[in-house]
Structures are given as C-alpha cells and as structure tokens.
Amino acid sequence: MASKLLLIIVFIFDLIAFGLAVAAEQRRSKAQVVSDSEKNYYYCVYDSDIATGYGVGAFLFLMVSQVLIMVASRCFCCGKALNPSGSRAWAVVLFITCWLTFLIAEICLLAGSVRNAYHTRYTTIFGAQTPSCEILRKGVFGAGAAFIVFTGILTELFYVCYSKAKDGFRSDFGKDTGVGMGTYS
C-alpha cells in the first residue's frame, strides 16, 4: 500500500514549490531607463530581485519532492520485480511522463531564475539611442508553475500505481516446482 505520509509530504512540497513559482512570476524584475543627474547618459535601473530567490526555492522544493518519490520507489528500476498487471503498465507510463514534466518544470524555473538575475550594465550617451533594459519575459515562471502541478499529479499517481504493482507481486520461488503426485499414490 502507498505510504500516505509520503504522499502528504510530497504534496506539501509540491504546493510550496507551486506557490513560490507563482510568487516569482508576480515579482519578476522590472526595469526603467533613467538619466544621470547631469543628463550625460542613460542607464537601466532594476527593482527588487526577489523573484530569483523564489524561483530557486521552487526549483529546490520540486527537486526534493521528486527525490523523495524516487527513493521510496527505488527509482522504479531497482528492487524486486513488480506484478505484471495494469498497475505496472501505468507505473511505467507515469514514471516516464513524470520525469518529462519534472525536467520541463526545472528548466523553466532555473532559466527564469538565471534570466531574472541578469541586469544589463552598459550606459549610452545622452541624445543617442536609449539602452534596452533586458528583463525576463512574462510567463516563464508561470510555465514552471503549471509543470509543477503536472509533475505533482503524475508523481503521486506513479507512486500509487507502483505501490499497487509492488504489493500484488507473488513470487513463484519457494513453491514445489514438480508435478504433484500425492493424490495418485
């Protein structure tokens, strides 16, 4: 049977990761082009960089969540064989898809955090073209949040299917493999 405590802990970690990703999307850096006091040149001024920390936090919480499920399921490839059934088939499909959505979510969160932390440092002379202040495109952390939800659902379903297939396994080892002749003697 699937460990309910593990499922609750993983759900809480996924929920925290989702909340941090949404907060990162809401608080991503914004920039303004300003001129110096003497109006000799333009430069970019960025506001708070808190979204980078939120993105990294979401990245780490999602990673811990995935590690917990994979350790509990022995990463699906180690340990005893599973019962050949529909649960095992679903566990294989869910294992692959949860890793795929996990990687997409982690890439979105990591790329968003790195890009949000990047601030242009150059200036331009007054009267020339104003500098382009590089900022993170809207929706990167949002995409990460969406894939966190998909990953959370798929990993929990994977673990439940894995547990059903593991608990239902009956080994034929240790049984009498010969032909039973007891009733014929």
**pLDDT tens digit string along 144-176?**
999 999 999 999 999 998 888 887 655 555 555
149 belongs to a structural domain: yes
Q: What is the pLDDT of residue 31?
A: 75
CB burial readout 91-127, b (16+ within 10 A) else e:
bbebbebbbebbebbbebbebbbebbbeeeeeeeeee
**Residue 61 scores a pLDDT above 70:** yes
User: Exposed/middle/buried for 147, CB within 10 Å: 0-12, 13-18, 19+?
Assistant: buried
How many residues does this entry show for the chain? 185
169 belongs to a structural domain: no
Task: Give the pLDDT mean for 56-68.
Answer: 96
Tokens linked to 129: 């073209």
97 belongs to a structural domain: yes
Give residue 51's pLDDT band: very low, low, confident or very high (50, 70, 90): confident
Please provide residue 22's backbone torsions phi and psi, each rounded to the nearest 5 degrees.
Answer: -65, -40
pTM for this predicted structure: 0.78
- Say which residues have a Cβ less than 8 Å from residue 27's Cβ, sequence separation at least 6: 48, 50, 51, 54
121 belongs to a structural domain: no
91 belongs to a structural domain: yes
User: Exposed/middle/buried for 88, CB within 10 Å: 0-12, 13-18, 19+?
Assistant: buried
9 belongs to a structural domain: yes
Give residue 37's pLDDT band: very low, low, confident or very high (50, 70, 90): confident
Q: Share the mean pLDDT of the chain.
A: 82
Number of domains in the chain: 1
Q: What is the pLDDT of residue 86?
A: 76
129 belongs to a structural domain: no
Of all residues in the chain, what percent carry a pLDDT higher than 70? Answer: 79
The boundaries of the domain holding residue 155 are 4-29+49-114+137-163
126 belongs to a structural domain: no
